[in-house]
Amino acid sequence: MSERRNLANLAYRLLGSLTEAEDAVQEAYARWFAQPAERRTAVANPAAWLNTVVSRICMDQLRSARMRRERYVGEWIPEPLPARAEWSALSHGSTATDPADHITLDESVEMAFLVVLDSMTPAERVAFMLHDVFRVPFNEVAEIVGRTPGACRELASSGRRRVAAARTREAGAPGRSAIVGEFRQAWQAKDVDALVRLLDPSVVAIADGGGRAMASPVPVQGHLRVAEFLVHLAELAGRLDLLERTVNGQPGLVAVNGGQVLTVYAFDIGEDRIRRIWAIRNPDKLRSWGS
């Protein structure tokens, strides 16, 4: 059971969904305990066994997820993760058993990184994550993915190229926090000009309502269009309560109404401007935020 945190970290990074990650870990443990005691005792490395099973479950999930997302209403964005202390402040309950507590917030859970992972094929994603992030040798990756070590090496290399192509110069941590803070103030002030100055000319705003909450069905692109769209949202919302919170380990915003979390905003920030805005509104993806 001491491996639960490691397994949850692996599964979330592979699936981009906290709920599905928790299900994958539970299923792995169910398979472990379903074995006769003598067979469990014969396993030389239970941690490696569980890691392999979780990875294979995630592979199957990723394959079926591609078909499910074809039927998904609107855009699909990975499930956002709160920082534990901030989640405690927002939630009305205890964090003791929340799956989000098991996830380590580092650069491999940043929203921009997860979005790139989501563009990979299931085999590519699993090979890249297992080898490059979790340092699993290619011979072990091959057993999980069902390919040769050489093929897995190529898959990981392809994933590496995708990540490298998506990375550009980014603002440092203090700069990101300052930009998000200025963005919040400009948005609450409904100041289109101030918003435009904070947005990259080719900025893209993507919302995920999943058919459960109102959201733009298509991305909004361009700094003026995004700024005007944001101001329009603020006018519709009336009083806009925006809290600066950590989202997937990076500065983000949370829209709250009467203590209920309605939207979580994640950002991709360049040296001095916002390049991507992800708005997660699907309530199924906001459970760890106390919504």
Beta bridge partners, 274, equal: 199, 269
Answer yes or no: do 185 and 218 share one domain.
Answer: yes
Answer yes or no: do 199 and 268 share one domain.
Answer: yes
Look at residue 112 and tell me if it is in a domain.
no
**Range list of H helices, 16-137:** 18-34, 37-42, 46-70, 84-90, 111-118, 122-128
Residue 156 is part of which domain span?
A: 4-71+122-162
Look at residue 239 and tell me whether its pLDDT is greater than 90: no
Answer yes or no: do 129 and 190 share one domain.
Answer: no
Residue 290: both structure tokens together: 């106390």
pTM above 0.85, yes or no: yes
Q: What are phi and psi of 175, to 5 degrees?
A: -65, -40
Answer yes or no: do 65 and 187 share one domain.
Answer: no
Tokens 């979390």 identify what position? Answer: 261
CATH of the domain at 249: 3.10.450.50
* Amino acid 257: pLDDT: 87
CATH of the domain at 26: 1.20.140
Residues 241, 259: Cα–Cα separation, whole Å: 10
Look at residue 102 and tell me if it is in a domain.
no
Instruction: Tell me the three state secondary structure of residue 272.
Output: coil
- The fraction of the chain above a pLDDT of 70, given in percent, is 92
Look at residue 230 and tell me if it is in a domain.
yes
- In this prediction, residue 165 has a pLDDT band, given cuts at 50, 70 and 90, of confident
Residues 147, 256: Cα–Cα separation, whole Å: 47
Look at residue 138 and tell me if it is in a domain.
yes
Residues 62, 113: Cα–Cα separation, whole Å: 17
Look at residue 284 and tell me whether its pLDDT is greater than 90: yes
Q: How far, in Å, are 153, 157, 245 from residue 132 at the CA level?
A: 10, 9, 29
Look at residue 282 and tell me if it is in a domain.
yes
Residue-wise pLDDT for 139-160, tens only, equals: 999 999 999 999 999 999 999 9
Answer yes or no: do 220 and 276 share one domain.
Answer: yes
Answer yes or no: do 158 and 237 share one domain.
Answer: no
Q: Give the count of domains, the chain.
A: 2
Residues 272, 257: Cα–Cα separation, whole Å: 30
Answer yes or no: do 247 and 134 share one domain.
Answer: no
- In this prediction, residue 249 has a pLDDT band, given cuts at 50, 70 and 90, of very high
Of the candidates 131, 162, 193, which is a domain's last residue?
162
Look at residue 62 and tell me if it is in a domain.
yes
* Amino acid 60: pLDDT: 93
Contact (CB, 8 A) for 15 and 65:
yes
